[in-house]
Structures are given as C-alpha cells and as structure tokens.
Amino acid sequence: MSSEPIHGPAPASDRRPDDEGVDDRRSDDARIDRFVDDDGRVVAFERYRPERYGDVDAMYADFAPAYRAQGLPPATDAGRTEWLSVVLDELSVLAVHDDAVVGHAVLVPDDADAHELGVFVHQDHQDAGVGTALLDATFEHARSLGVTDVWLTVAQSNHRARHVYDRLGFTETSSKGRSVRYAKEL
C-alpha cells in the first residue's frame, strides 16, 4: 500500500477500524493533517499541546538505543526532561497513532533567523513513510508561522536519513567530522 495524505476527517464510509485512535473532533484545532502509512496505519499530525507532554516523554522513554543519534533523544529521565523543556513549543509537531505519540519534529530558532530541525520517529513506525509525512506536515505548519529557513545535521553514515533529506529538497551545505549539515528554504 502506498502512503497517502488525508486532509481533514475521513468520511464515515472510508474509515477503517484503526481510525478510532484519531479524534476528528478536536475543539482546539490541534490537528494539522492525517496520513495512512505504508503499513496501513492511520497517523494524525498535530501541534504539540502541553497535555501531550506525558505521551511525548513516553515515546522517548521507549526509544531503542540503536535509534538514538548525536545523543538524542537523551537516554536518562533527567536528561530527557531537561531537553523536552527546551524543544516542546509551538514549533513542535507530533505524529499520533491510536492516541500514542509515535513521532516528533521540532524547529528550534537559532541566532541567524533560521531554525534547526530535529525529527524522531519511534522504531516501531520507521520505514513506513511516517518520517517523511511528519516533515511535510511540520514544514506546512512552520510556513504558516513565518519560518523560511531550516537546517539540520546528520551523521554521514546515516544514508537512509540523508536520502530522505535529499528527496525533500535539502541541500548539503557542509560537513565536519562525521556530520553533514543540510539546509532547506521553505
């Protein structure tokens, strides 16, 4: 099955049993978009809200060590709490399946009017198009807030991520040590 974006609530005739984890009636309009991943799971994208803190923390607490990169997400409870206090704000977008957070993208402002991008997808939802769709939803949300330039660093050895960034229109701007810096104009 190919990945496809779904804008807005699915008509009742198109709903599948796993749509039950997606609340189409959010009164605070947190929902950005919906998506059916390559494994047939419905994933909703929503802006971060403080009441989702525990769900975000739970995803990161369950992050397998093999999927951590450049020390992120932090492995300890204290490190994760400190890190989340910095990165969770209006420029955070969550991927949610069955009411559980399965992905998180964040844009952190830097000193040069650009934003550093971080994207994390739980290992049980990788290789299904969730990361790419999460980035698309994040960029759409960022543009609506006036963000124009984003950048990120990735390990040179992370060929899968680098391929995704190339496909999404990022340009390699520099490399230092084992890291490559990419940038994109929104």
Residue 21: count of CB within 10 angstroms of its CB: 15
Measure the CA–CA gap between 171 and 32, rounded to whole angstroms: 26
The 10s digit of each residue's pLDDT in 80-91 is: 999 999 899 879
Please tell me the number of Cα atoms within 13 Å of 69 on its side-chain side.
19
- What integer pLDDT is reported at residue 8 of this predicted model? 38
Q: pLDDT confidence of 160, banded at 50, 70, 90? A: confident
- What integer pLDDT is reported at residue 29 of this predicted model? 59
C-alpha dihedral over 123, 107, 80, 35, to 10 degrees? Answer: -30
Where do the domains of the chain lie?
4-185
Measure the CA–CA gap between 146 and 131, rounded to whole angstroms: 22
- Over range 151-176, report the average pLDDT: 93
Whole-structure pTM over 0.75, yes or no? yes
Whether residue 15 is predicted with pLDDT greater than 70 in this model: the reply is no
Whether residue 170 is predicted with pLDDT greater than 60 in this model: the reply is yes
CATH 3.40.630.30 fits 4-185, yes or no: yes
The 10s digit of each residue's pLDDT in 26-74 is: 334 566 788 999 999 999 999 999 999 999 999 999 999 888 888 889 9
Write 178-181 long-range contacts (CB < 8 A, 24+).
Answer: 179/70, 179/153, 179/154, 179/155, 180/153, 180/154, 180/155, 180/156, 181/151, 181/152, 181/153
- Over range 150-154, report the average pLDDT: 96
The 10s digit of each residue's pLDDT in 90-146 is: 799 999 999 999 999 999 999 888 999 999 999 999 999 999 999 999 999 999 999
DSSP symbol at 13 = G
Whether residue 10 is predicted with pLDDT greater than 50 in this model: the reply is no
- What integer pLDDT is reported at residue 70 of this predicted model? 81
The amino acid sitting at 160 is R
